[in-house]
Amino acid sequence: MRIQKWLAAALASVALLATGCGSSSAPSQDSKQVATDVPASFTQNCAACHGAGMEGRSAPNLTKVGGRLSEEQIKNKIANGGGGMPGFKSRLGDEEVNKLSAYLASKK
């Protein structure tokens, strides 16, 4: 039973890493421009794993992430990834990472 749980977790992690939690296409230079609508940026880049309502799917629930992590910690996680999450610094510009982290930090 324990091996089955471990195997399921390992397969889920591999699937998560393979999908990259965002669209599978490489970003164009235009896609690095800051989205004027931060929730739309969340939907485009984060909702595949975190859920459209931030409720969590294959990744953690973010509805109250600002109560658990500081804005700086959120910014670091978005940019560099970790714990199964891919980093998005090559996909998003600094300004968009900053706006997303501020938006998520406000969720308390």
What are the boundaries of each domain within the chain?
2-105
Higher pLDDT, 25 or 97: 97
With 0.85 as the threshold, say if the pTM is over it: no
* 43-54 residue pLDDT tens: 999 999 999 999
User: For 2-105, CATH number?
Assistant: 1.10.760.10
Question: Residue 88 has which token pair?
Answer: 């998005």
Three-class DSSP category at 8: helix
Q: N- to C-terminal Cα distance for the chain? A: 37
* Residue 55 pLDDT class (50, 70, 90 cuts): very high
Q: What is the pLDDT of residues 56-73, one digit of tens each?
A: 999 999 999 999 999 999
In which band, very low, low, confident or very high, does the pLDDT at 36 lie, cut at 50, 70 and 90?
low
* Whole-number Å distance between alpha carbons of 54 and 60: 8
d(CA 57, CA 99): 23
